[in-house]
Amino acid sequence: MRTRLSRRSGLGFTLLIAVVTISAAPAAPAGNFTIETVDGSPNSVGQYSSIALEPIGNPHVSYFDGTDYDLEYAWKEGDAWTTETVDWFENGAGHFTSIAVDANGDSHVTYGDFYLFHLRYARKSGGAWTTEMVDGADSEVGGYNSLALDAQGNPCVSYWDLTSERLLYAWKSGGAWTLEVADPTFGVGIYSSLALDSQGNPHITYLNGYLTQLKYARKSGGAWTIEVVGSSTTAGGDNSLALDAADNPHVSFFDYQVNDLKYARKVGGLWVIETADASPNRVGYYNSIALDAEGNPHVSYWDGTARELKYARRSGSNWAVEVPSPGTSGTYISLALDTEGNAHISFWGGSGDLLYARGSFDPTDVTWSGPPGTLGLFVSPNPTRGEAYVSWNLTDGEPLDLSVFDVGGRNVRMLADDLAGGRRSTVWDGRDASGRDVAAGRYFLRLTTARGHRATERVTIVR
């Protein structure tokens, strides 16, 4: 049973919450992932989950209680999860949640109320939540919202105007919200995903629902530019956006036409689109993307045929795919990567519980999507504090050797020589040929075959 205490403060609320601390359910190993229950209350909880990490890596999750129509929140310290109710607004709070954590470890959440379709915002600071309405006085808004924080920790949010069917954008500065229309085209704005670039400019991907096109909007110099991702015939759906260190957009999306998970990135002003998972099943819905320190995309998503959570990571030109917990359903998925490249995933398990998966991608247990006869090279974890697992795949069995080079092209160490091809793995312990730990920095692992073919993968050593 939850105890609720509240007092009104101005336009918002200051909420005093009775919290419940639970020990995480025993971790169930699933390949390189551990799966645990965050909230397994008698209610059906976990829909619309969104995850964010503190600077030190602790996960925070916002989600919806589908029984009591509450906005719920959970965070983990050590081995224990703490859960609490953030808002139970009269008309049902917590629809379409999106969470972000600032540099001080304070949590920010945007969400919709279930019946009135208002966009709301909650912030936890000093142990207390305050909530307020962002938009919705004159129209039904707030669905498909996506939250990001600027360099000063101010909230920015993209969201859908249900009444006018257009894409909206809002940001808070100096205590006041500014609202504007990002794309006035009728029939656009669902599945919005927001990211801020290094200058604080918003980038948003979203769906043109009538043409099933994936669209991309970017604001610069006070003006919005809008384009279609790919060609006018590219079929987009549920999508997720991330920006790399050069502010280039990377997008995962579900292709309705072929039922595949697709990945798009913008290179030199042009969109490049490829298939991340084209299994015989219907895959790619509820997708969430994050980029690691090397700019490689990681995507968690749902296999709608097998009804399982899936995870894909791109390395070089290859996609590696695994099922974190075979037989475990996974919808309302959200992904974040920590500074060491470990994956943190919140999702609804289908049995009414909020679940959490944590793991790193094991190169010894992958399915390479490249055609037969290609080289696949994979390193994990990356970055690493010393030890890294190295995996490769060369299906025609051609002999090869594996060496480590520094950024100056000097051979640091030969890890293996005259190896048989096929699917193999080894370990680099972060040492050079003399057995000394290499200095922190970037290195290159290179496979060279007897026929002169090469595959190279960057690895970063942190000390």
Convert the pLDDT of each residue in 239-264 to its tens digit.
Answer: 999 999 999 999 999 998 899 999 99
Residue range 167-175: mean pLDDT, rounded: 95
Rounded mean pLDDT of 398-421?
81
* Domain range list for the chain: 4-368, 376-461
Looking at every residue in the chain, the average pLDDT score rounds to 85
Distance CA 291, CA 452 (A): 31
CB 321 within 8 A of CB 295: no
Specify the fold of 4-368: Neuraminidase (2.120.10)
Give mean pLDDT, residues 75-80: 90
Mean predicted confidence (pLDDT) in 102-106: 92
pLDDT > 50? residue 3: no
Under 8 Å between Cβ of 134 and 121: yes
Lookup: tokens for 177: 């919200």
Cα separation, 48 vs 254, in Å, equals: 17
pTM recorded for the entire structure: 0.75
Find the distance separating the first CA and the last CA of the chain, reported in whole Å.
47
d(CA 388, CA 315): 15
Residue 70 has pLDDT above 90, yes or no: yes
Cβ-based neighbour number of residue 94 at 10 Å: 31
376-461 fold: Immunoglobulin-like (2.60.40)
Q: How confident is the model at residue 6 (pLDDT cuts 50, 70, 90)?
A: very low
Taking residues 113-118, report their average pLDDT: 83
The pLDDT of residue 30? 37
Least confident span in 31-40, 176-185, 425-434: 31-40
Beta carbons of 260 and 272 less than 8 angstroms apart: no
Same fold, 4-368 and 376-461: no
**DSSP code at position 247:** -
* pLDDT (mean) for 56-73: 94
